[in-house]
């Protein structure tokens, strides 16, 4: 029973992490890229960082065919995928990277698409 409960919690964490990441994208980037030290932005950055790692190593990894060595987050893999012209989905990855840059206060979070 306890093992089933733990597996259910893990499954919910994996499924919820992309939603959490999207919801916290702007406040987290305000802290990471914008230098904001408001407690709400710091808390959002910490939670988003955890959600980003969970997403990158589960859902995102399955969607993009796996992460390469040195890629820990969705942004890390977008640095590579958004300029990989041999990938048939390069326009999708480029659009996603550009969206993240538009949300970032510096507009330079993913440097490959500047």
DSSP conformational letter for 69: T
- What is the distance in angstroms between the CA of the first residue and the CA of the last residue of the chain? 50
Expressed as residue numbers, the domain containing 34 is: 2-113
pLDDT, tens digit, for every residue of 54-64? 999 999 999 99
Total structural domains within the chain: 1
Alpha-carbon Rg for the chain in angstroms = 15
* pLDDT tens, residue by residue, 30-55: 999 999 999 999 999 999 999 999 99
Q: Is residue 24 predicted with pLDDT exceeding 90?
A: yes
How far apart are the C-alpha atoms of 12 and 17, rounded to whole Å?
A: 8
Q: How far apart are CA 64 and CA 106, in angstroms?
A: 27
Q: Write phi, then psi, for 49 (nearest 5 degrees).
A: -60, -45
pLDDT at residue 32, rounded to an integer = 93
Residues 57, 76 contacting (CB under 8 angstroms): no
User: How many residues can be counted in the chain?
Assistant: 114
């Amino acid at each position: 029973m306890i093992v089933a409960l733990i597996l259910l919690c893990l499954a919910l964490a994996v499924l919820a992490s992309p939603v959490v990441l999207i919801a916290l994208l702007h406040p987290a980037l305000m802290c990471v890229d914008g230098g904001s030290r408001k407690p709400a932005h710091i808390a959002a950055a910490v939670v988003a960082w955890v959600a980003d790692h969970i997403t990158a190593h589960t859902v995102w990894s399955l969607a993009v065919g796996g992460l390469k060595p040195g890629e820990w987050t969705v942004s890390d893999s977008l640095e590579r995928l958004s300029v990989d012209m041999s990938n048939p989905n390069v326009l999708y990855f480029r659009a996603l990277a550009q969206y993240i840059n538009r949300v970032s206060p510096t507009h330079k979070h993913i440097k490959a698409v500047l």
